[in-house]
Structure 1
Amino acid sequence: MSVLQLNNVSRFFGGIKAVSGVNMDIAPGEILGLIGPNGAGKTTLFNLLTGIYKPTEGDIIYNFQRAKSTKELKPYKIGNLGVARTFQNIRLFGNMTLTENVKAGYHNKIKYGLLASFFRTNRYYKGEEILEKKVLELLDIFNLLEKKDELAKNLPYGDQRRLEIARALASEPKILLLDEPAAGMNPKETNELMHLIKWIRDKFDITIILIEHDMSLVMSLCSKIFVLDYGEVIAEGTPEEIKKNPKVINAYLGGEGELC
C-alpha cells in the first residue's frame, strides 16, 4: 500500500496555475526526488502536502494506520499524522540552544499536561528526563552533541541544516519532506548529507521526499524522481530514465544533451 497519494491535485492563485493535475503514488521507504526549474511549483507542492495551502482541485491522502484526506485538516493535524518538513530557507529558533530547538520538535510527544508542568509534579520530571534523553540521542546522531548548549544562530551553515533535520525528526514522522537540504553546502558536506539521508531512511523506517537542485545528489540518492515544469509533472521514473528524458532535457537545457 502507498503511504501517500495525490489525485489530480491543483493549486491556483488567481489565474496562475502553480500546481496543475499532479498525480503521485508513493510507496513506504522510498527516497523520492522532486526536481524542476525555478518556479516549477516544487515548494508549492510541499506547502500543499503540509496543509499550508489547500488544493484548489483534487485530493491528498495519507495512508498510515488508515487513509486520511487532508482536505479538512489544519497543518498541525497533518503534522500529528506523521508528516514533518524542513524549509528552503532555514527556520531555526536562532536565540535558542540546539537542545531547545530539538526539544521543540517533540512538542506533540510530551506525556505530561499543563498542570503537571506548572506544579512540577513527578510526572513532569519523569517526562522531562525521557525527553532530554531523546534530544541528546538525536544531537549525537547528527554529530551536534558537543554543541548542545550553543545558540543555533552561531552554528556554521552545514550544522544549521543538520539541526533543522534533527528537529524535524523529533516529531517522529512517517514522511519527511526536505526542501533543498544541500543548498549552501560544499561537496564534502553534500556527500556526507547523502549518506546521512540514506541512514535516516533506514534507521527511522520513514519515507523521504526531497526537493533539490544538486542533480548528482538526486541521481545518487533517489529511487524515483518526479519532474515538475510550470506546475505540471512532465516526467517520472528512475534516475537513468530521467537523465535521458527529452522533456526533462528541454526544460533544463533547452535542447539536446543528458542531464547530469
Structure 2
Amino acid sequence: MQVLEVKNLTKAFGGIKAVTDINLEVNEGQIAGIIGPNGAGKTTFFNLLTGIYTPTSGNIKYNLNTTVEGKKLKPNKISSYGISRTFQNIRLFKEMTVLENVLIGYHHNFKYSVASAFLRLSSFAKGENEALNEALKLLKVFNLLDKKDELAQNLPYGEQRKLEIARAMASNPRLLLLDEPAAGMNPQETNDLTELIRWIRDEFKLTIILIEHDMSLVMDLCENIFVFDYGQLIASGSPKEVQNNPQVIKAYLGA
C-alpha cells in the first residue's frame, strides 16, 4: 500500500522553481532516504508535504487523502492524516521540560472540548491522564524517562534530537519525516540513531522518510533512495543502484 504518492509537484518562489515536477511513491513500512547537495530542494519538499508551503502545482496523496494544485492544507490537517516530522534545526520548547515537550505532541489527539478543559470536567482529567501515561511510555522507549523533569535546553545535543523524534511520535503518525536527524552527532550517536530509527519503524509499524547527508547512515538504513539536484528528482532506487548511478556520482556522491 502506498503511504505517499507525489505527482508533478512544483514549488516556485517568484520566478525561481525550488522544486520542479517531482514524481515519487513511498510504500507502507519503507525507510526511504532523500539525498542531494545543499540547495537541492530537499527541505522545501518536506515543507510541501507538511503544509508549511503551498504547492504551486501538482498533487500530494497521503494515505489516500489528496491535496491538489494550489490548495492550502494547514499542518494540523496534515497531521490528522498521520504525518509528523522533525526539523533540520532542532525546534524544541527549550524552556519547557522534557515531559512537557512530548505532551505538546499529543495536543491534537485530545478528545475533550474547550469547555471541558475550562470547567475541569472528568473528560478533561481522563484525557490529561491518558496523555501523561503515553508520554511517559515514549520517554522510556527513548531512554529519556530519567530526564523528564529537566529543561529541554539542558539536554546534550544527541538527546535533544531524540526528544524531537519522541515529540513527533506523540502524534501517533503513520508517516514520519526526519530532516537530517544525524546532523551534529558523533559516530556513536549516529550508530545508536540508526538502530533507533529501524526499531521505531518495526515497533510502531511506521513508514519513514529521512533527509540526510551522512551516507553511511543512508546506505545502511534506507531501502529506497531519492536523489534531488537543483529541485529535480534525478534518480531513485536501491542504495546500490544509486551509488552506481553516473548522474548521482557527478551531482553529489563524487563530491
Answer yes or no: is 1:141 the counterpart of 2:136: no
Distance 1:116 1:253, change over 3 A: closer
In the alignment, residue 73 of structure 1 is paired with which amino acid? L
1:41-86 CA-to-partner distances (Å, cap 9, x unmatched) read: 00000000001111112111112xx433263422211111111000
Tell me, in whole angstroms, the C-alpha distance in 1 between the residues paired with 2:218 and 2:3.
21
Q: What SS is found at the alignment partner of 1:6? A: strand
In the alignment, residue 103 of structure 2 is paired with which amino acid? K
Q: Gaps (5+ residues) in structure 2? A: none
1:4-50 CA-to-partner distances (Å, cap 9, x unmatched) read: 11101111112211111110011101100000000000000000000
Tell me, in whole angstroms, the C-alpha distance in 2 between the residues paired with 1:49 and 1:176.
11
Answer yes or no: is 1:67 the counterpart of 2:65: yes
1:118 corresponds to: 118
Considering only aligned residues, what root-mean-square deviation do their CA atoms show, in Å?
A: 1.2
Tell me, in whole angstroms, the C-alpha distance in 2 between the residues paired with 1:253 and 1:77.
37
2:231 corresponds to: 231
Tell me, in whole angstroms, the C-alpha distance in 2 between the residues paired with 1:15 and 1:127.
48
Answer yes or no: is 1:174 the counterpart of 2:174: yes
Q: State which drifts further: 195-204 or 120-129.
A: 120-129
Tell me, in whole angstroms, the C-alpha distance in 2 between the residues paired with 1:171 and 1:13.
31
Tell me, in whole angstroms, the C-alpha distance in 2 between the residues paired with 1:118 and 1:13.
43
**What pairs with 1:195-206 in structure 2 (closer than 5 Å)?**
195-206=195-206
In the alignment, residue 189 of structure 2 is paired with which amino acid? E
Answer yes or no: is 1:16 the counterpart of 2:11: no
Contact 2:51 2:72 in 1 (8 A): no
Q: State which drifts further: 124-133 or 170-179.
A: 124-133
Tell me, in whole angstroms, the C-alpha distance in 1 between the residues paired with 2:185 and 2:51.
29
Answer yes or no: is 1:99 the counterpart of 2:99: yes
Tell me, in whole angstroms, the C-alpha distance in 2 between the residues paired with 1:211 and 1:117.
38
In the alignment, residue 128 of structure 1 is paired with which amino acid? E
Tell me, in whole angstroms, the C-alpha distance in 2 between the residues paired with 1:121 and 1:88.
39
Q: What SS is found at the alignment partner of 1:167? A: helix
Would you say how many aligned residue pairs link Structure 1 and Structure 2?
A: 253
Q: State which drifts further: 168-177 or 53-62.
A: 53-62
Contact 2:243 2:253 in 1 (8 A): no
Tell me, in whole angstroms, the C-alpha distance in 1 between the residues paired with 2:55 and 2:111.
34
Contact 2:65 2:81 in 1 (8 A): no
Q: State which drifts further: 72-81 or 137-146.
A: 72-81
Q: TM-score, normalised by structure 1?
A: 0.94
Q: State which drifts further: 84-93 or 67-76.
A: 67-76
1:170-210 CA-to-partner distances (Å, cap 9, x unmatched) read: 00011100000000000000000000001111111111000
Q: State which drifts further: 7-16 or 36-45.
A: 7-16
Tell me, in whole angstroms, the C-alpha distance in 2 between the residues paired with 1:58 and 1:125.
43
Tell me, in whole angstroms, the C-alpha distance in 1 between the residues paired with 2:52 and 2:182.
23
Q: Gaps (5+ residues) in structure 1? A: 256-260
Q: TM-score, normalised by structure 2?
A: 0.96
Tell me, in whole angstroms, the C-alpha distance in 2 between the residues paired with 1:111 and 1:235.
43
1:7 corresponds to: 7
Tell me, in whole angstroms, the C-alpha distance in 2 between the residues paired with 1:68 and 1:245.
32
